[in-house]
Amino acid sequence: MNIDKVQITNEEIKQFEAIDEKRNALRNLIFICENNELLRNEDLYSKFLTDISKTENERTQLWNDIMDKYNIHDDEHHELELDFQSGIITCVPKS
Amino acid sequence: MSENKEITILKSGGEEWGSGSAQYIDFIITEDCNLRCKYCYICHKQTGHTMPLETAKKFIDYLFSGAVTQMPAVVVSFIGGEPFIETDLMDQIMDYFKMKSYISGSDWCWNYRISVTTNGVNYSSTTVQKFIKKNADKISVSITIDGTKEKHDLQRVFPNGSGSYDIIEKSIPLYISQFPATTKVTFAHDDLPLLKESIIHLWKMGINDVNANVVYEDAWEVGDDIIFENQLKSLADYIIENQMYENNFVSLFDPLIGRPFDEERLRRTVCGAGVMLALGPNGKVYPCLRYKDYSINSDKAEVAIGSVDEGIDFNKVLRFRVSNCQIQCDEECLNCDVAIGCSFCQGQSYDAADTPTNFQRSKYICKMHKARVRASRYYYNRLLNEKHTKVEGMRLTPKRMYFPLADDFVSYCEMENPNTAIWEEMGPDVVEKGLEYCYENFYYPVFVHSFNNPDLSIGDKYTDHRITHIVSARHYSETKKLNDIILVFDKDTIDIPVAYQSYVILNVNWEDVSNLYAYTAKLFKITGRINLNLYGLHTESQLEVYEQELRKITDFLIESWNKNIMYEFSKITDVYFSKKQDSCNIGEKSLTIMPNGDFAICPLDYLYNSKPIGNIYNKSVLVPNQKLYSLDKAPLCVSCPATHCNRCAIRNNIDTGEVNVPSFSKCMPSMIEYKISKDFQNHFGKALGINLRTLTEYEFENPYEAFLEATDNRFGYTIV
């Protein structure tokens, strides 16, 4: 890993926030479909799965764009963490 | 000057989620509660009044039917009674909301938060924990714990009268492990003496962010404000002595409170009643739960704005949408020097109003608010003076009290002090009494120091107060320990090396006006703002030189503003920031205490007229004919576009015999300055993205000509 800290812009923080909000909401909807018999709906369930896959891809793409922009290189022993309040990405050893 | 470090007033949780872009929707899922808190505003709790799931579903269907516009985000709140006695219902409502929002294609399906305010009794139960876990990334919970066991159990009791502290305390470690630790504490008459120890107790439990308020109801007794203030001051002492000020917060201390209303605040009201939606168990929709019958103490009817069957009637919402402080406050509140932060609950105000109106605010907390403002100032003043910690957002108000500490006080405004020697100095007794008066009556003290021989160690003695010190630059080396200084430069001190100052005063004699640009250029190396005072009488030729010098200064300003360095020169740039004529507020908001303890309109007025307007020893002040000091009563100034002129009542009085009528010699330089400012405006356009006032052509030679035109008064002679 070639960095200790990177500061991203507010706009980029918002992009990450929105994607994470969507991902968490879709996970929740999948959980409801799997556990609430009254609301179970196979068509919706498969839509949720498609949507979450799309959202995961968008998230990966955003990380890749950020890594390119800030010249961050990946490393198998470390992972990146984003502090949503400060917008600082730090590199920490993989747990 | 001491280095101040800035600390942020943002609390640990930061800005509220969705702030400004979220629709708040409250589900009153039950009118019942497992506690019977004595101060609770839900005065008619009822067992069995639980929201049917079908009612909630109907409302959700209505929200997504297209009948109501949607904000980008939504906060779904569950309130009661106690919401966690109906956790399964809450879960079913949320499941339905989430599915419905997704099916409707609304952004609310992902851009939402769930908010629950609970008494904490059931917090650790399996059902509640399962709900929290299920919504882990989307939920915020606030547990109410009031402080020490004694304080908590005094108010928050079970129906059998026993205290709830022990059971709630057990859940706090789990709560802190799951959410940013915060709580909401309410103080009422009985528990005020326990305020300090309660807040400290909560901090020691790990709840660093404590929201606290006093009840809005008519529940206060004589002397409660003094107990409140003393408790807060004692808490302030504790925080400072134990260095707890960077990591512990209690909302009772707030640097932003205690200023008069400004136009922007008058246009708004205090809360979101009528913007938010609250659904009752009976299917009625309310502007806020405080308008529902279970919260109304008087014989007034509840206020519903619709129902799940009939939708929302916007005619019934209108009264809330047009509510603002300007309409809801009476004259006393509108003119209050410390109005900001004196909150009220619109629902409680409706309940307490003389008629069933939303336009009469409740005022029961007036004295408590003033006590809070005083204690807040005490706290932040001590932080600044003793810990050199300046809190973000704190601003001085226009209500100042000037302390000319000796006869030869340094000249700081457009009236020059004619005294050059000291005959009388202000003694410690007058200083202390004056500061006490400032504290009680919300004045900011301004010490105007001796020109020749100031005692600048005085700043060490009064750390409870935020004192601005006006000092001649010749004594700069003695000012190191003072926090707020304004240096006064003149031709003899212009070259004295000083550290950067945000603002300085420059005194120049008209005879020396040809050096104005040279002085200014030197000072802009050490400051971002110059307030210019010109002394002596000017001649026509001096006015011509003045205009030339101002044009040179303008060239300097054009160059700097184009580089986004926004230097301010009072005679040229102030006019962009004010729509109405500025003044030093003498006779209105400002006051002076003389070395002998007399109150005066201003130091110069006292020197010229020797007429006190009161005395510190009997704490009486009476400004004769006070109305004449207001802009509305200044016939030549009220419509004058040269709003930077800083009309001086004392000089007016000397020149024309009236405090509200300026002489031509006062107006002529102001007209030149306005013309220069207007020319300057053409060079910077909309500089730095700041919304500056646009100056227009002034077709008159002076305000008297404009007055004649406006009044169509052409009678009488003129002097040629």
> In B456-556, where do the E strands start and end?
468-472, 484-489, 504-509, 529-535
Average pLDDT over residues B362-372: 97
Average pLDDT over residues B621-639: 93
| Band of pLDDT at residue B6, cut at 50, 70 and 90 | very low
Say yes or no for a CB contact (<8 Å) between A85 and B134. no
Which letter does DSSP use for residue B31 in this model? S
Phi, psi for B643 (deg, rounded to 5):
-70, -10
> Where in chain A are the domains?
5-93
Place of tokens 């938060």: B113
CA distances (Å), B510 to each of B75, B251, B536, in order? Answer: 64, 51, 6
- Here the tokens at position B51 are 């929201």
Q: According to the model, what pLDDT value does residue B153 have? A: 97
| B410-437 residue pLDDT tens | 999 999 999 988 788 999 999 999 999 9
| B450-506 residue pLDDT tens | 999 999 998 788 999 999 999 999 999 999 888 889 999 999 999 999 999 999 999
Which letter does DSSP use for residue B406 in this model? B
Please name the residue of chain B whose CA is at the shortest distance from the CA of residue A17: B111
Q: State in Å, rounded, how far the first CA of chain B is from the last one.
A: 53
- Helix residue spans in B388-483 (DSSP H): 428-441
Please name the residue of chain B whose CA is at the shortest distance from the CA of residue A18: B111
Say yes or no for a CB contact (<8 Å) between A29 and B112. no
State the smallest CA–CA distance between residue B607 and chain A in angstroms: 56
CB-nearest to B98 from A18, A21, A32 is A32
Say yes or no for a CB contact (<8 Å) between A85 and B14. yes
Complex confidence, ipTM:
0.88
Interface of A with B (CB under 8 A): 18, 20-22, 24-26, 28-29, 31-32, 36, 39, 41, 44, 48, 85
Closest by CA position to B710, among listed B639, B656, B654, B655:
B639
What does the alpha-carbon distance between residue B134 and residue B136 come to, in Å, rounded to a whole number? 6
Please name the residue of chain A whose CA is at the shortest distance from the CA of residue B134: A28
Does B95 score more than 80 pLDDT? yes
In degrees to the nearest 10, what's the CA dihedral of B629, B632, B638, B639? Answer: 180
Describe the crossing of helices B540-562 and B516-523 by its angle, rounded to 10 degrees. 30
Q: According to the model, what pLDDT value does residue B13 have? A: 42
Average pLDDT over residues B143-153: 96
What does the alpha-carbon distance between residue B404 and residue B276 come to, in Å, rounded to a whole number? 52
Say yes or no for a CB contact (<8 Å) between B109 and A29. yes
Q: According to the model, what pLDDT value does residue A36 have? A: 81
Q: According to the model, what pLDDT value does residue B686 have? A: 56
pTM of the model: 0.87
| B375-416 residue pLDDT tens | 999 999 999 889 888 777 677 777 999 999 999 999 999 999
Look over chain B and give the mean of its residue pLDDT values, rounded to a whole number: 92
| B26-61 residue pLDDT tens | 999 999 999 999 988 888 888 878 999 999 999 999
Q: Using CA of residue B312, residue B316, residue B322, residue B327, what is the dihedral sign?
A: negative
Please name the residue of chain A whose CA is at the shortest distance from the CA of residue B136: A24
State the smallest CA–CA distance between residue A21 and chain B in angstroms: 6
Does B717 score more than 70 pLDDT? yes
Place of tokens 């714990």: B145
Q: According to the model, what pLDDT value does residue B716 have? A: 80
Question: Which of A14, A22, A32 would best serve as a mutation to test chain B binding (most B beta carbons within 10 A)?
Answer: A32
Phi, psi for B508 (deg, rounded to 5):
-135, 140
Question: Which of B15, B93, B95, B103 would best serve as a mutation to test chain A binding (most A beta carbons within 10 A)?
Answer: B95
Interface of B with A in 82-101 (CB under 8 A): 95-96, 98-99
Does B366 score more than 50 pLDDT? yes
Please name the residue of chain B whose CA is at the shortest distance from the CA of residue A41: B99
Chain A partners of B110 at a C-beta cutoff of 8 Å?
21-22, 24-26
What does the alpha-carbon distance between residue B365 and residue B213 come to, in Å, rounded to a whole number? 10
Say yes or no for a CB contact (<8 Å) between A39 and B99. yes
State the smallest CA–CA distance between residue A2 and chain B in angstroms: 31
Say yes or no for a CB contact (<8 Å) between A39 and B96. yes
The region of weakest confidence among B198-207, B273-282, B638-647 is B638-647
What does the alpha-carbon distance between residue B482 and residue B466 come to, in Å, rounded to a whole number? 10
Burial class (CB in 10 A: 0-12, 13-18, 19+), B211: middle
Identity of residue B122:
N
Which letter does DSSP use for residue B382 in this model? H
| CA R_g for chain A | 16
Average pLDDT over residues B92-101: 96
Chain A partners of B137 at a C-beta cutoff of 8 Å?
20, 24, 28
Say yes or no for a CB contact (<8 Å) between A32 and B103. no
